[in-house]
Amino acid sequence: MTKIHNNLLRCFAVMLLLLVCNSMFADKIVRKITKNNAMFKSKKTTNSLHYGWVSMEGGYHLLQEDFDDLNTQGGSAVHFGTGYEFQLHGIYTSIGVDFNLWTSSATTQPYSFDQRMYDTQGKLMTYHFNISESTERSSGVFAAFPIMIGYSFQGIHIGGGVSFGYNLSAKSRVKREYITSATYPQYIEDFTNMPNHFYTNYESTNTEKLAMKTPINILGEIGYNVLRSNKYQKYQNMRNTILKVGAFVEYGLCNVFENESDGVLVEPNPERPTQLSLHPYYNNKSTTNHNIFPISAGIKVTYMMRIPTKNCNCY
């Protein structure tokens, strides 16, 4: 793990410690502040609230990039998370863990290349590969640790924060569609559209793991507690639960790929010349001078249940 990742882990540990201390001592601090304050003498002191939560998010996912010969179409993202939230006077702080499943697709521009080889009769030829369509479908799973702070009023929750994670698995399925032809030095015309001689339409696919870095994202969310209405609040158990329905957005802060040199994207298979050996774009293209970061946005649903404390007869 790099020095940056170690520093991030230290920051995460410090923030977790502060969050725990905050939840332990917040009531005492508030009582001391409000005890002799005339502003609060006529009002009942509000205790801190503690919640456990589970969430599900779904929406659009994109690996944003700035390559000239690559076009990204995006894909989907699904998040499952759980964690703890502390609330005090409308301000809330949340920490947890998410498991994120994502997909993204991209296409490259049409291109061609040649390979000198011998045909089945031992004659020298130049074999042409004209690639008409090239697609890559990437997918992965990573664990993220979000830290959020926000404010809630009249059932509306607005928050922001940061998350960093650990890549658990990532892969890319590469597909190339191409047409082959051949040029012989002893003939004027090229040999085309001859399936019996391997001059026709072909398709090759390959799947490889992606070497991704730790994603670091900034977060934003907005939601509304749909259980806030009197229809639900008349039930005792509903008063201690929150069901937030809203939207989320995640924006990557750093490059998730860092390759220093260009590799080979496509090369003929020596054993089967009509089949190409394919490699993912992100693994074999120099990315050190480019920006490739994830962006996600969609719908978020969070179910929260109040945690009983000695000052709370919640249920």
pLDDT digits (tens, 9 = 90+) for 71-82: 888 899 999 999
Q: How far apart are CA 266 and CA 109, in angstroms?
A: 13
Would you give the distance in Å from CA 148 to the centre of its chain? 17
pLDDT at 3: 44
DSSP state of 238: G
| CATH code at 51-306 | 2.40.160.20
Reading the block at residue 9, the tokens are 């882990």
Reading the block at residue 24, the tokens are 């332990």
Q: How is the chain split into domains, by residue range?
A: 51-306
Q: How far apart are CA 98 and CA 217, in angstroms?
A: 13
pLDDT under 70: residue ranges of the chain: 1-47, 229-239, 270, 310-315
pLDDT at 96: 96
pLDDT at 238: 58
Please report the beta strands in the chain, taking only residues with DSSP state E, as ranges in sequence order: 49-64, 70-88, 91-108, 111-118, 124-153, 156-183, 201-209, 216-225, 241-252, 266-268, 276-278, 293-306
